């Protein structure tokens, strides 16, 4: 597992073992998020889905989740 400089917590920590998604967003997460912050995001995603009643089959909800993910992990712009 590679060490990354996490954009959310600022620590040099263990990164993810594999990209969480295909494509550019998955590569950005892989390069900029530590495993601990990714785990925190998964919990936050559950909260957001419940509070906002998100349905991931809807494209507008998918876009919102991508936006929330980028904000939560403080990912650099693409």
Residues spanned by the domain of 66: 3-73
**How many distinct structural domains can be found in the chain?**
1
Residues 22-54: tens digit of each pLDDT = 999 999 999 999 999 999 999 999 999 999 999
pLDDT band for position 78 (50/70/90)? confident
pTM: 0.91
Distance of CA 8 to CAs 32, 46, 53, 63, Å? 8, 19, 25, 20
Residue 39 lies in a domain: yes
- Whether the per-residue pLDDT at 1 is higher than 80: the answer is no
Residue 51 lies in a domain: yes
Residue 78 lies in a domain: no
CATH number at residue 49: 1.10.3880.10
CB contact set of 60 (below 8 Å; sequence gap of 6+)? none
User: Closest Cα partner for 17 from 29, 5, 8?
Assistant: 29
Q: Contact at 8 Å (CB) between 73 and 29?
A: yes
């Amino acid at each position: 597992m590679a060490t990354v400089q996490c954009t959310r917590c600022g620590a040099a920590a263990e990164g993810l073992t594999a990209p969480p998604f295909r494509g550019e967003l998955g590569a950005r997460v892989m390069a900029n998020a530590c495993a601990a912050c990714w785990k925190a995001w998964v919990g936050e995603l559950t909260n957001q889905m419940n509070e906002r009643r998100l349905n991931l089959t809807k494209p507008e909800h998918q876009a919102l989740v991508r936006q929330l993910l980028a904000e939560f992990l403080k990912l650099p712009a693409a």
